[in-house]
Amino acid sequence: MAAELEVRSTPVPGLLVVSLPVHGDSRGWFKENWQRTKMVAAGLPDFGPVQHSVAYNGPVGVTRGIHAEPWDKLVSVAHGRVFGAWVDLREGPTFGAVHTEVLDEGTAVFVPRGVGNSYQTLTEDVVYSYLVNDHWSPLASYTMLDLADRDVDIDWPIPLEEAVVSEKDRRHPALRQVTPVPSRATLVLGAGGQLGQELVAVLPGARGLTRAELDLADPAAVEAFDFSGVGVVVNAAAYTAVDAAETPDGRRAAWATNATGVAALARAAVAHGFTLVHYSSDYVFDGTEQEYTEEDLLAPLGVYGQSKAAGDLAVSVVPRHYLLRTSWVVGEGKNFVATMAGLAARGVAPNVVADQVGRLTFTTDLAGATAHLLSTGAPFGTYNVTGGGEPDSWADVARAVYAACGADTTSVTDTTTEDYTAGVSGPVAPRPARSVLSMDKITAAGFVPAGRDQGLRAYLDARRGPEEGTGA
């Protein structure tokens, strides 16, 4: 009677059919109706159920639905058999798509928010189970559909005129009268920054919020923010003034945004059930390893890295999170590549640090990886995301920029971090000497970033003119 645990897709996106192993003998049977570790590994979303409801149906032909509810659910049968029918009532190209399936003790179906759920009992004494990731509320908004809608044309085993149907379920609207369930919103925090701008551009329908609209450094503002109807929050807001973070004021500002504010956002993600995407840094490591994986222990050197590490720990407890750890970010605005391009255009011969090694990360790749993880439903967790190719020093990158700009690469002179910072007034934060992040996990998830030279060409071609930045 036992079968292998298997998850298969259907024509309705996100609607998944689960074959459950059922173990039986002369006494009866046993099954694991929800087993998080095994089922997530098999392909079910880690949807975080919080309520279990059960419906008993006495006679054959009881027909319930079609109801699209504002939560995800795993439906199954504890006793008997039903004919299940699901209709996509979400806005988009699959609106009205139908899938039908016979459910018994060995079959369950994962139903994403906005997909209409209905069933008809094929045996007496059916016990039907709902495992949902939000608490039922009389104030919840449901989208309904007529069981007999001609456009959907569900082939009910027992004709509806002979079925047991409530008067309420008989009065639902036709598909042509249904307002499609809107997609849950995607918010991008820090939308004015170099990464935030790119994220708003690549994430479909994303709404960008600047610091003036939601200040992450103010936990009370995060707590008071209305996250209803929000499905994804992408946090590109951060305090990134690495050296200033070593001052008393900078230390407080770094911890307020990178740690305390992120913890408030993590609490909101747990409370409201949205997916949280957050960006980490190579600065959470001390730079003593040749390469860092997602599992390596945090060991930050300076205040900036310490505040980012604290934020990472807060995000890690959110059930639905993507933590993207990156290095040497380049996008719109001030950055190392823009600075070097400006110096090359003016014929300046710079001294550039050669004893710090890592990889550039263009915001196009970082935003692209984000969109890929969200759209493919990749397993939640931490992913390293940088540019591809071999690691470089800052001096190597400078020479590559000079070459791409047609400038003399021999004018770039190597220096050490110690010598470069010797003449700097004010505090200087410690930097990890080696910031090479393993890319095995993100490439296994199906995203391959551009190499350094390809990224540089695309970035420099897109620039309107030289932009000033700050040093090496």
Contact present, 367 and 431 (Cβ < 8 Å): no
Contact present, 322 and 277 (Cβ < 8 Å): yes
Give the pair of three-digit tokens for residue 89: 């009532």
Integer angstrom CA distances of residue 325 from 296, 370, 441: 12, 11, 12
Task: Please indicate whether residue 67 is annotated as part of the active site.
Answer: yes
CA gap 226, 205 in Å, rounded: 18
Element (H, E) at 453: helix 452-462
Give the pair of three-digit tokens for residue 172: 């639902």
Element (H, E) at 41: helix 36-42
Cis amide leading into 66 (omega within 30):
yes
Contact present, 265 and 209 (Cβ < 8 Å): no
Task: Please indicate whether residue 239 is annotated as part of the active site.
Answer: no
Name the residue type at position 119: Y
- Interior/surface letters 367-404, b for 16+ CB within 10 angstroms, e for the rest: bbbbbbbbeeebebebbbbbbbbebbbbbbbbbbbbeb
Say how many C-beta atoms besides its own lie within 10 A of residue 267's C-beta.
16
CA gap 7, 448 in Å, rounded: 27
3-class SS at 51? strand
Helices (H), 273-392: 303-316, 336-346, 363-376
Q: Out of 67, 79, 99, 272, pick the active-site residue.
A: 67
Q: Out of 119, 130, 402, 420, pick the active-site residue.
A: 130
CA gap 345, 328 in Å, rounded: 22
Contact present, 15 and 110 (Cβ < 8 Å): yes
Residue 43 zone, left/alpha/beta (φ > 0; ψ -120 to 50; rest) = left
Angle between helices 452-462 and 336-346 in degrees, nearest 10:
70
DSSP line for 363-390: HHHHHHHHHHHHHHTPPSEEEE---BSS
Give me the active site residues, please: 67, 130
